[in-house]
Amino acid sequence: MKPDYKISTQIRNEKIEIPVFSYNTVVVGTGAAGYACVLSLLRLGQKNIAVVTEGIKMGTSRNTGSDKQTYYKMSTNLNTPDSAYEMAKDLMAGGAMHGDIALTEAALSLRGFYNLVSLGVPFPHDRFGEYTGYRTDHDEKRRATSCGPLTSKLMTEALENALPDDIPIYDGYRVIQIITRNIDFDKSDVKEEKQTKRTKKAVGITALSANTGYNKFGLVVFSAQNVVYAVGGASAIYSSTVYPESQTCGIGTAFLAGAEGINLTESQYGIASTEFRWNLSGSYQQVLPRYISRNPDGSDEREFLRDYFDDDKTLTACIFKKGYQWPFDPRKINENGIKGSSCIDLAVFAEESKGREVFLDFRRNPSCCLNASGKFDINLIDGEAHEYLIKSESIDDTPIKRLRKMNEKAYNLYLSHGINLEKSPLKISVCAQHCNGGLAGDIFYESVNVSNLFPIGEVNGVFGVYRPGGSALNSTQVSAIRVAEKIAAIYLDEKNIEKLSAGDISNTVKNIASLLGGNSTRENIIKRRYEYGKIMSGCGTFLRNINKIESAISKIENEINKFFSEKENMVSDISSLTEAAINYDVLISQLMYLNAIREYIKHGGKSRGSYLITDKSPLCIIKENKSIEIDNAHKNLVCRTSLLKNNKIHFEWESVRPIPDIDNWFEKIYNLSKDELYSNI
């Protein structure tokens, strides 16, 4: 249906009329970041806003989580000293993260957190009002908190419910172009642009919508002074992924507009269920489930981890540790001659490589925990696993009983999706889960080279090699606040909303027109996307091999070069055009990510973060029982990546910026001018 919003003008192109809606700020995306930005803009007096989304219910924020999804912020524990500076140091400690951005993420963390509290997000507190916390990965300050498995969903719903009813939301609109103009420095009065790399500015977006009926292609244009890009991570570039199926890709569109990427090598991978996509971290592992594999026809079911571990106590400890060491980490393959928790990821992959399917079984105990009578024996478990289960009062005789005792919500989550962990095993794989890298932004989350384009949330490449668990949710709120502040202070003059013409979208219209008139169905297009994903998952996830990457890049380049002329991409109806456009975004994204990985390896980069660079098989790596050489040479470097003409890629290595040494004398801060406050220089 056509939205009941006023069309400002129309563009005539290729004998079709394309409506143009005009707003000061267009927010693309309806997740925790997008909604938070709209709310922040409204609070600062901005009213001429529209929200554009592929689907209100489709994003990662609303459809993902874990056993106890973590939100990371400055510590609010009464007996845990903390500061923005200390938190910034911990955010930077993982490597390849700029200090000024880390400080911004830390300084605004409590503001974002307490805003969510005020909106009714039920973070737990004691009777005195203290929001206590717990330790998460890469964290020693008990900064983590949680509302349970659906923390980000609760955040998104609370933010959405806080918005007034008169905010225009264009639902069912897939953004396929960020429209840019070159900045004329001779006429521009934006001093900052003269001292940065910004040579373009965003002036609007083009979207596809199958249900509007405006024209035969479903094309719609939005002119805007500001484009807030809250589209989430590059999820659909993989076939093995824990991202929800409804979350596709949007970062390729930004690359095509000229926006730079940063740290595209750095993503996070771990064990997840595949029929219902969900992280299997925390209590799902800490209750000590049984790992089994079997043939696709269900035959030859067997417990397999003992094949990869030398002794039962190490195996038991590693299953338990997988709860809080969930991401694959090459440092945790072998720790001082003792097999680590990431050997489990390798073992799962090794079983899959044999053509077998792998499952977590909560109905029966792993044999490493059984006594001579075949019963679960807590006394066979050493160390922190023993202490944890005792303190949690979860020493029941099966994993499912222990899970329900420890975390009933985690059990009910699967039940709500038709999966009863008491009756059947859970199919698993090692899956892509989060992009630490993404689009390069400054301390106001404005693209470093495209003015007025604000990537926020996961699409902004805030984080480096390692990040504390839950820091991504904090970043959604911090980035939303910062963007709103800069727009309200600097970019509110509606005279600067540029008029768009046919020339701004001519290439986009040409490409879309070439995809309509074929015989491919929506199902065919999605099947091709999965095949593209298999190329990426085969070489660009937690196991990386330079020869396979070179081959994959050639395949992706070939697919891109023939995309708009190949019959298999030409669809029979406009409802399938969106899926075809997503496929092109996926291919561009894969091209950028794989080239960044190749550049890193050629630059001398070694295993780190959540990936292992190797040409050896997982079984060989485990059996060698050697520590992995971890990269340190690139810890204080980041790689910026740009897409040039003819799909050529430009790389630029730069040193990590330190945490700013700030003179915080009150009177100086009190008297800062607006130009000083909102300068990124």
Residue 560 lies in a domain: no
Is residue 399 situated within a structural domain? yes
468 and 416 together in one domain: no
Looking at the fold, whether 197 and 255 belong to one and the same domain comes out as: yes
Is 191 a residue whose pLDDT tops 80?
no
Confirm whether 481 is domain-assigned.
Answer: yes
Q: Vertex 536, ends 533 and 538: CA angle to 5°?
A: 105
Query: Which candidate, 222, 221, 220, 215, places its Cα nearest to that of 15?
Result: 215
Q: Are residues 397 and 480 in the same domain?
A: no
pLDDT tops 70 at residue 680: no
Kindly write down the DSSP assignment for every residue of 31-79, as one continuous string.
SHHHHHHHHHHHHTT---EEEEES-TT-SHHHH---TT--EE-S---TT
Residue 185: predicted pLDDT: 60
139-179 tens-digit pLDDT = 889 999 999 999 999 999 999 999 999 999 999 999 999 99
523 domain residue, yes or no: no
For residue 193, pLDDT beyond 50: no
Instruction: At 253, give phi and psi (nearest 5°).
Output: -60, -40
Strands 571-571 and 516-520, by their bridges, are parallel
| pLDDT digit string, tens, across residues 209-260 | 988 888 999 999 999 999 999 999 999 999 999 999 988 889 999 999 999 9
DSSP line for 244-296: -TT----HHHHHHTTPPEE-TT-EEEEEEETTTTEE--THHHHT-PEEEEE-T
Asked if 335 and 428 sit in the same domain, the reply is yes
Query: What domain range is 319 assigned to?
Result: 269-432
**Count of helix runs (H) and strand runs (E) in the chain:** 22, 27
Arithmetic mean of pLDDT, 495-519? 93
Window from 47-51, 133-137, 653-657 with minimum mean pLDDT: 133-137
The answer to whether residues 192 and 108 belong to one domain is: yes
Q: Region 391-416: what's the mean pLDDT?
A: 94
Q: What angle do CA 178, 439, 54 make, to 5 degrees?
A: 50
Instruction: Evaluate whether residue 91 is within a structural domain.
Output: yes
Give domain status of residue 99, yes or no.
Answer: yes
Residue 348 and residue 543 in contact, taking contact as beta carbons nearer than 8 Å: no
Q: What is the pLDDT of residue 79?
A: 86
Tokens of 65: 């989580």
Judgement on whether residues 259 and 285 belong to the same structural domain of the protein? no
Q: What is the pLDDT of residue 625?
A: 84
Kind and range of the H or E element at 516?
strand 516-520
Round the average pLDDT of the chain to a whole number and report it: 94
519 within a domain of the structure (yes/no): no
**Do residue 393 and residue 473 come from a single domain?**
no
Q: Is residue 33 part of a domain?
A: yes
The verdict on 441 and 456 lying in the same domain is: yes
Q: pLDDT at residue 136 above 90?
A: no
Pick from 503, 521, 542: which residue ends a domain? 503
In this model, does residue 195 exceed pLDDT 70? Answer: no
How many angstroms separate the CA atoms of 335 and 406, rounded?
Answer: 29
Q: What is the DSSP letter of 434?
A: E
* 248, 161: one domain: yes
Closest CA to 476 of 454, 449, 452, 498: 454
Q: Regarding predicted confidence, which is higher, 195 or 423?
A: 423
CATH of the domain at 196: 3.50.50.60
C-beta of residue 670 within 8 angstroms of C-beta of residue 677: no
Question: How many structural domains comprise the chain?
Answer: 2
Q: Which of 432, 452, 476 is the last residue of a domain?
A: 432
- The fraction of the chain above a pLDDT of 90, given in percent, is 85
Claim to verify: residue 389 and residue 449 sit in the same structural domain: no
Q: What is the pLDDT of residues 428-484, one digit of tens each?
A: 999 999 999 999 999 999 999 999 999 999 999 999 999 999 999 999 999 999 999
pLDDT attached to residue 335: 84
Alpha carbon of 272 to those of 58, 279, 323, 437, 527: distances in Å? 20, 5, 12, 21, 22
- 306 and 443 inside one domain: no
pTM for the full predicted model: 0.95
Tell me which amino acid residue 324 is. Y
> How confident is the model at residue 212, as a pLDDT?
84
What are the pLDDT digits (tens) for 514-547?
999 999 999 999 999 999 999 999 999 999 999 9
Which of 408, 432, 456 terminates a domain? The answer is: 432
Q: Is pLDDT of 190 > 70?
A: no
pLDDT of amino acid 120: 98
pLDDT at 1: 52
Task: Identify whether residues 71 and 134 lie together within a single domain.
Answer: yes
Q: Which amino acid is at 506?
A: S
Structure tokens at 145: 């908190």
Backbone angles phi, psi at 356, to 5 degrees: -100, 155
